[in-house]
């Protein structure tokens, strides 16, 4: 018996089998074989509303079984953790049911479609935590080694007092107006558009790296294409359906004394998945671009001005966060590794009996920021305070 199979098992049931379901499945398959985990994940069952598609996905991704109804996973003795990769409108009901049944929960971002839903989820997580049941929201970009290194540099004072944070998340998959209507473009399923899908990531990263919370915002948003074709029967003329979320959102913010600017769009032609974040402090600056995720740019303001400049740190050394388990220096990681690290951190926290981060309370705080941006944009960009944690 090898070391992996000798460790106690953690049975996992996953709800959803699309893009995020594939990414999470890859992580559940590989985490225990790459990183030293105290528990061995067992991919017990995958759940999806289309029974045939769920069964095919379960076979393809490596799940032992498929279930058509998520409630069949709740309370199962062989499923200790529920991984929620379903559309946002399903998050609250599934997460609360699982937590109340004593199952750990990993939930994709954003936490919910509305602030009341997010508050209910955070309250359920707090109740469950008192019984030793853990929960985490999937802000996976915290687990990019370069981002984790940036966090260490900020924590160690290499930037001094932070003055600015600017972040953008740019994609272009909706630039073509003939792209069909999906659940991500419907408020009742997604809650918001680029703001929630992309903006939640940069809000979380800005707060995670700077160490401050957003206290107020002024925002604008736009829906550039108001209707999109709806897929119908083969040979039938496509019908049009309304887009009921934002295509792009921009906002300024205060994080205590720090000034912040944010942009999220799915209409930036030529930008496929460009998340950029930069922090400027009294002693230096850091800059990160997800499309170059193995690199971190660092500027030391205390260097001789004649030779000073941003320098590129190739984040592949064994002493860098997460890297000791991977490849020799210079052998880069991909986007999928962020989910492997996320799973590893969650499993380690469950085994240790500690609260994993980011928590549902962190997810609620991000949801409050998104709601404040929407409110500001709906009222001529007026300055809108963000409800404080626990407020």
Which pLDDT tens digit goes with each residue over 153-202? Answer: 999 999 999 999 999 999 999 999 999 999 999 999 999 999 999 999 99
pLDDT at residue number 187:
97
pLDDT at residue number 230:
93
pLDDT at residue number 231:
77
Q: Mean pLDDT: which of 6-10, 306-310, 344-348 is highest?
A: 344-348
Q: How far apart are CA 377 and CA 220, in angstroms?
A: 4
At residue 344, does pLDDT exceed 90?
yes
pLDDT at residue number 232:
67
Containing 289, the helix (H) or strand (E) segment is strand 284-289
Mean pLDDT of the chain: 96
At residue 229, does pLDDT exceed 60?
yes
At residue 238, does pLDDT exceed 90?
no
pLDDT at residue number 1:
44
At residue 236, does pLDDT exceed 90?
no
Q: With beta carbons less than 8 A apart as the criterion, state whether 139 and 277 touch.
A: no
pLDDT at residue number 149:
98
For the segment 55-71, the average pLDDT, to the nearest whole number, is 97
- Which own/partner pairs from 123-132 qualify as long-range (CB within 8 Å, at least 24 positions apart)? 124/95, 124/96, 124/99, 124/100, 124/360, 125/95, 125/99, 125/359, 125/360, 125/361, 126/360, 126/361, 127/99, 127/100, 128/99, 128/100, 128/102, 129/355, 131/102, 132/353
State pTM to two decimals: 0.96
pLDDT at residue number 237:
67
């Amino acid at each position: 018996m090898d070391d992996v199979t000798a460790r106690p098992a953690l049975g996992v049931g996953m709800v959803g089998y699309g893009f995020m379901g594939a990414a999470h499945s890859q992580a559940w398959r590989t985490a225990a074989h790459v990183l030293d985990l105290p528990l061995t994940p067992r991919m017990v069952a995958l759940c999806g509303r289309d029974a045939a598609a769920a069964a095919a996905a379960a076979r393809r991704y490596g799940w032992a079984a498929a279930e058509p109804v998520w409630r069949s996973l709740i309370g199962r003795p062989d499923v200790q953790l529920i991984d929620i990769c379903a559309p946002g409108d399903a998050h609250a009901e599934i997460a609360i049911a699982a937590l109340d049944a004593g199952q750990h929960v990993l939930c994709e971002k954003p936490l919910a479609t509305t602030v009341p839903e997010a508050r209910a989820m955070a309250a359920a997580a707090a109740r469950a935590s008192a019984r030793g049941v853990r929960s985490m929201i999937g802000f996976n970009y915290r687990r990019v080694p370069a981002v984790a290194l940036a966090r260490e540099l900020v924590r160690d004072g290499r930037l001094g007092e932070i003055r600015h944070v600017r972040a953008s998340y740019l994609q272009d998959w909706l630039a073509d107006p003939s792209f069909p209507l999906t659940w991500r473009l419907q408020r009742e399923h997604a809650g918001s558009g680029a703001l929630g899908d992309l903006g939640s990531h940069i809000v979380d990263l800005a707060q995670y790296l700077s160490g401050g919370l957003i206290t107020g915002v002024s925002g604008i948003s736009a829906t550039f294409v108001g209707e999109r074709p709806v897929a119908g029967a083969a040979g039938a003329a496509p019908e049009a359906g309304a887009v009921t979320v934002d295509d792009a959102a921009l906002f300024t913010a205060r994080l205590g004394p720090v000034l912040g600017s944010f942009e999220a769009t799915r209409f930036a032609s030529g930008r496929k998945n460009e998340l950029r974040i930069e922090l400027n402090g009294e002693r230096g600056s850091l800059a990160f671009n997800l499309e170059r995720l193995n690199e971190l740019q660092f500027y030391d303001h205390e260097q001789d001005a004649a030779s000073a400049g941003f320098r590129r740190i190739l984040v592949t050394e064994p002493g860098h966060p997460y890297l000791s388990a991977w490849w020799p220096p210079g052998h880069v990681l991909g986007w999928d590794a962020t989910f492997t690290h996320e799973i590893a951190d969650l499993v380690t926290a469950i085994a240790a009996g500690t609260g994993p981060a980011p928590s549902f309370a962190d997810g609620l705080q991000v949801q409050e920021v998104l709601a404040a941006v929407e409110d500001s944009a709906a009222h001529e960009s007026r300055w809108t305070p963000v409800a404080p944690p626990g407020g």
